[in-house]
Amino acid sequence: MAIAKKNLFTEEENRIADLAKAIAHPARVSILLYLIKKNSCVCGDIVGELPLSQSTVSQHLKELKRVGILQGEIEGTKTCYCINPEVWMEMGDLFKGLTEKFNC
């Protein structure tokens, strides 16, 4: 049986890796840019903005929601998605802290 290697790293290192993995797909970046452009919660419009099937977009939304970057609320038969501002700021702070560790 494989041993979980995540426990060999700090909580911060694991969080940075988890957030980076969540945004490491161009479709997810496109989703985030669309939500930033809209500057509001979006219900159902996201699929029409991407050249992907509804099920594929749903999987990408699920991954962004899993790490907390997106919030989703069910309104009737639709789920509305918004960027979670607390996690967005956390991600910015973590990535900025990582990049600032390198002195060039």
Residue 1 lies inside a defined structural domain of this protein: no
Q: Reduce the DSSP state of residue 78 to 3 states and report it.
A: strand
103 belongs to a structural domain: no
Q: How many domains does the chain have?
A: 1
CATH code of residue 56: 1.10.10.10
* CA-to-CA separations, 8 to 13, 21, 24, 50, in angstroms, rounded: 10, 18, 23, 38
Task: Tell me the C-alpha distance between 56 and 33, whole Å.
Answer: 17
Helix (H) or strand (E) holding 71: strand 70-75
pLDDT in tens, 35-85: 999 988 888 778 888 899 989 999 999 999 999 999 988 777 778 899 999
Residue 3 lies in a domain: no
Residue 43: which domain range?
Answer: 12-95
Q: Is residue 20 part of a domain?
A: yes
Would the pTM of this model clear 0.85, i.e. be above it?
yes
- Is residue 7 a part of any domain in this protein? no
For residue 104, tell me if it sits in a domain: no
pLDDT in tens, 35-44: 999 988 888 7
